[in-house]
Homo-oligomer: A and B are copies of this chain.
Amino acid sequence: MRVTIIGGAGGMGRWFANFFRDSGADVLIVDKSVQTGKIAAEIGVKHLELDILRSNQNRNLEMEMVVDTDVLLLSVPIDITGRVIERVGPGMRQGSLMMDITSVKKKPVEMMTRFTPEGVEILGTHPLFGPSAKSMRGQTVIFVPQRVRMRSGSMYSRVYELFKRSGARIEILTAEEHDRVMSVLQGLTHFVLIASGITLKELEFDIERARAFMSPMYEILMDFVGRILHQDPRLYALIQQNLEMEEVHKTFLSVATRLYEQISASDIEGFIAEMRNARAHFGNTETERAMRDSDAVIEAKIEMEQKRSAGRSVP
């Protein structure tokens, strides 16, 4: 299988270059970065230093190299994904597969379907992990397939099998379902973690000193805040913008404002009623499971810290 990765010098691009190379594929990374050659050499794949959006007719040969492949994976920021698709889509080969890995699916899947010939398979993909994941084992990957052929040997079947074999939990959704679920799971989660991080800054809260007073649960949460702040802010901004977050944002803000007002007015019973209703919506099975599973995570965190301090005391 020949795999070409546009944006192959970036974090996720490199991750997938490694992943496909490990599976025995013939990998080519395409990137405008001047580091492309060096990165390709490190991974052990072929490379092409090329800015897809700036390439012109004189560079037809290079564009030919890009589309002459079995799987074309787009690993570029959401805000330029559309333009890249417009540029490379029309030249793609019959029987080949185009996949993107952005965090939204409606727009890119629509674009990929529109700008590629009928015989090209389309696989909107959303890997729910970042470049720091050690492998695909246990990670969730959402597939939004369009015009795919289910028969064995089709590129879609081969990619599906490869991901499955690598331990991914594959979930198949429509683009609309994906974006609706993600506006809550990812959009709301990022939003509250980012807002919390900025709040800590505004309160001039000393995070390092507070470490000593954090129980494992607070440490885990604080690390999730730090984790998001550590990564590319543009990616998070674009996810918020592209996921149609309006309703989610508004609902969250109105709930948070209401809770604040209840506490200010010492309306303890009102606050309790809100919590009870939310619990009823979760259901007892779900909150009991949450209790049990979060206890296990907290125990694991304690285990890690114990090992770490043991390591420190015996140098």
Contact = CB atoms under 8 A, between A and B. Distances in A.
Interface of A: 128-129, 132, 134, 137-140, 142, 169, 171, 173, 181-182, 184-186, 188-189, 191-192, 194-205, 207-208, 210, 212-227, 229-231, 233-234, 236-238, 240-241, 245-253, 255-257, 259-260, 263-264, 266, 268, 271-272, 274-279, 281-283, 285-291, 293-297, 299-306
A272 B237 contact: yes
Contacts of A191: 256, 259
A240 to B, nearest CB: 5
18 contacts: A138-B302, A139-B302, A140-B213, A173-B213, A181-B213, A188-B199, A191-B256, A198-B255, A198-B259, A207-B282, A207-B286, A208-B283, A223-B290, A226-B290, A227-B287, A230-B290, A236-B275, A297-B304
Contacts of A195: 192, 252, 255-256, 259
Copies in the complex: 2
A229 B287 contact: yes
A207 B250 CA distance: 20
A123 to B, nearest CB: 17
Given A138-B216, A245-B263, A304-B296, A221 B189 contact: yes
